[in-house]
Amino acid sequence: MSRLSMLILLALAVDLGSCAPSLPIAPDLDPVLQAYENPTVEVAREIMEVWADEIEEAAEAIEDSEIFEEILDVIAEVQEELENSTSRTCNGGANNGSTCTDDADCPGGTCGADLVLGGACSGGINDGGDCADNTDCPGGGTCAGGLTLPSPTGAFQINYICPGWDQQQFDDGYDDSPDSANGSIDLFATIDSGGIGRVVWGTADQCLYLVPNEGIDCEAEGCSEAKFDGDVALDLGDDWVSEDVSELLVTFVVKGKIRVDESPFDINQSFRVILAVESGLEILVDIGVMPWEETFSYIFAAETQLIRGATGVFGCSLEDRFCFDLVCVGGANEGNVCIDADDCPEGTCEQRERFSW
């Protein structure tokens, strides 16, 4: 089922230099990003005694709800839609106005990306089809109409109607017409180089969706009924223009209420995920009075758990309630920090308990 059938991209497509309504102010996520890069808390037994249960509960709620996947899937499909609607033309120089792929095609000018929403082919073999420029209209057709937003001054609102709890939505041929009774997610973004800008933010209003318990549908193990209501902001990272959204390390800040089946959870949390990585979650633990000033990260990787604190990175286990260092025993790197046996030629990489609680 395509999410774009439930998505209204043109709810607010404006030129920020015009007199049209402006977007809400984007949140400043720099303090959050700095907190991940520069943790300030020296994590010891006393810290984990207080925070271990809360970390475990937050991780379980985030992973079970898959709220990050629901939102990133929407963004990925919008990004694809924008890329298909982006026209690159020469600005200035001898080829001013001509189609281009990079600056080399524009002697004396630059190759810029304009976003064309609602363009349609007139004539040719794609007559009536969507287009961003004439190259999308082979056979003598031309691309006309639509709304053109010069990069990088555009901005828009994404209004996504949530899919609801009908398990038939995973079946071929299902009528996926939007139903406002299923709630919605309204996201705001700027347009940068013809695509979504780095920061996306917005609000979910009683968004209902299904989380398959196993696999991608509900046939084998059934589905859990999930609901999210609250605010969300996310940063797509340094490579958001050149990489697929699913491959990016995305930083979320989420505040609201998550419910999976009959289990509600109040969330006020920042975390990081990569959609394409099956198992990986980094939770920012904020223990201070002022936001983002006293923090450390707890990382759930594929086969281990780690803490990144003021003194560096070390291993930990919430289940066994102890933290440890990995060091080389024997060999040329005796006593050195290691990740696995490859770091310890002629020796072994072993755990040494750091503290327990």
Q: Where are the domains of the chain?
A: 3-74+150-289, 89-149
State the Cα–Cα distance between residues 267 and 116, nearest whole angstrom: 38
pLDDT bucket at 59, cuts 50 / 70 / 90: very high
Would you say residue 166 has pLDDT above 80?
A: yes
Q: What is the residue-averaged pLDDT of the chain?
A: 84
Q: How far is CA 239 from CA 35, 66, 129, 233, 236, in A?
A: 19, 23, 31, 18, 8
The total of other beta-carbon atoms located within 10 Å of residue 263's CB is 13
Region 234-255 average pLDDT: 88
CB 328 within 8 A of CB 335: yes
Which of these ranges, 61-65, 249-253, 302-306, has the smallest mean pLDDT?
A: 302-306
Region 82-90 average pLDDT: 72
The reported pLDDT for the residue numbered 67 is: 84
pLDDT bucket at 278, cuts 50 / 70 / 90: confident
The reported pLDDT for the residue numbered 14 is: 43
Which of these ranges, 26-30, 274-278, 290-294, 332-336, has the smallest mean pLDDT?
A: 274-278
Region 210-220 average pLDDT: 77
- Quote the tokens at residue 336: 């050195």
Would you say residue 24 has pLDDT above 50?
A: yes
Region 317-334 average pLDDT: 94
The reported pLDDT for the residue numbered 147 is: 53
Would you say residue 155 has pLDDT above 70?
A: no
pLDDT bucket at 280, cuts 50 / 70 / 90: confident
Region 218-243 average pLDDT: 87
What is the dihedral sign for C-alpha 115, 121, 126, 130? positive
Would you say residue 16 has pLDDT above 80?
A: no
Would you say residue 296 has pLDDT above 50?
A: yes
State the Cα–Cα distance between residues 211 and 224, nearest whole angstrom: 5
- Quote the tokens at residue 246: 């699913």
Contacts of 225 (CB under 8 A, 6+ apart): 165, 208, 210, 260, 261
- Secondary structure, 3-state, the chain: CCHHHHEEHHHHCEECCCCCCCCCCCCCCHHHHHHHHCCCCCCCHHHHHHHHHHHHHHHHHHHHHCHHHHHHHHHHHHHHHHHHCEEEEEECCCCCCCECCCHHHCCCCEEEEEEEECCEEECCCCCCCECCCHHHCCCCCEEECCEEEECCCEEEEEEEECCCCCHHHHCCCCCCCCCHHHCEEEEEEEEECCEEEEEEEEEEEEEEEEEECCCCCCCCCCEEEEEEEEEEEEECCCCCCCCCHHHCCEEEEEEEEEEECCEEEEEEEEEEECCCCCCCEEEEEECCCCCCCCEEEEEECCCCEEEEECCEEEEEECCCCEEEEEEEECCCCCCCECCCHHHCCCCEEEEEEEEEC
Q: Measuring CA to CA, which residue among 164, 133, 138, 199 is closest to residue 70?
A: 164
Region 143-156 average pLDDT: 61
Region 257-264 average pLDDT: 93
pLDDT bucket at 299, cuts 50 / 70 / 90: very high
Would you say residue 269 has pLDDT above 90?
A: yes
Whether the ω angle into residue 152 lies within 30 degrees of 0, i.e. cis, is yes
Which of these ranges, 25-34, 96-105, 226-235, 248-257, has the smallest mean pLDDT?
A: 96-105
Would you say residue 149 has pLDDT above 60?
A: no
The reported pLDDT for the residue numbered 151 is: 52
pLDDT bucket at 113, cuts 50 / 70 / 90: low
The reported pLDDT for the residue numbered 110 is: 83
Q: Measuring CA to CA, which residue among 202, 146, 272 is closest to residue 7?
A: 202
Q: What percent of the chain has pLDDT over 70?
A: 85
The reported pLDDT for the residue numbered 5 is: 39
State the Cα–Cα distance between residues 345 and 181, nearest whole angstrom: 61
